[in-house]
Amino acid sequence: VSPVVALRPGVLQDPAVVTEIERRMARAGLRWTRARRTVLESVAAAPAPRSVPELQEAIGRDVPLSSLYRVIGDLVAARILIKLEFAEGFARFELDEELAAHHHHLVCTRCGAVADVELHEFEGALTDAARTVQRRTGFAVSMHRLDFFGVCSTCARD
């Protein structure tokens, strides 16, 4: 099984995605600003969820750190970005899956690298697992998250 990386750099060029982002912004009382667009473009172009320092490095001085925290908070509140935590002691952010694509994460416990991975061939089995959970427990599953922790190929070579 060769994992396919969920690269979606062009997601903000998709008019349907932009319309949905604008709908969520309007519902949260937010307007498009240069800073919000810059942050969204940076998150969308990344091949994995990004921490605030990583976003700041990618964006540069266009968005000062205090604004960056505020913009990210607003976009999370508007359900455009989601906040992920992998027991690293800090948060990472990515586009809400409904705006991007369903995927899982590979988290390296040695260097801290996080990568996106799509596992289409297993989603049917995961849907079956959710049905089993519901049958056994009465818990109605609406989504799943599955992240893999281990050693990345770069660290494994060293």
Give me the residues that bind Zn ion (CB under 5 A), please: 108, 110-111, 113, 152, 155
Minimum Å gap between C-beta 18 and Zn ion is: 25
Nearest to 149 by CA among 81, 75, 90, 85: 85
Nearer to Zn ion, 100 or 108 (CB): 108
Backbone phi, then psi, for 47, in 5-degree steps?
-80, 5
Q: How far is CA 19 from CA 11, 26, 34, in A?
A: 12, 10, 17
Question: For residue 156, what is the enclosing H or E element?
Answer: helix 153-157
Nearer to Zn ion, 37 or 145 (CB): 145
Minimum Å gap between C-beta 101 and Zn ion is: 10
Minimum Å gap between C-beta 74 and Zn ion is: 28
Nearer to Zn ion, 124 or 138 (CB): 124
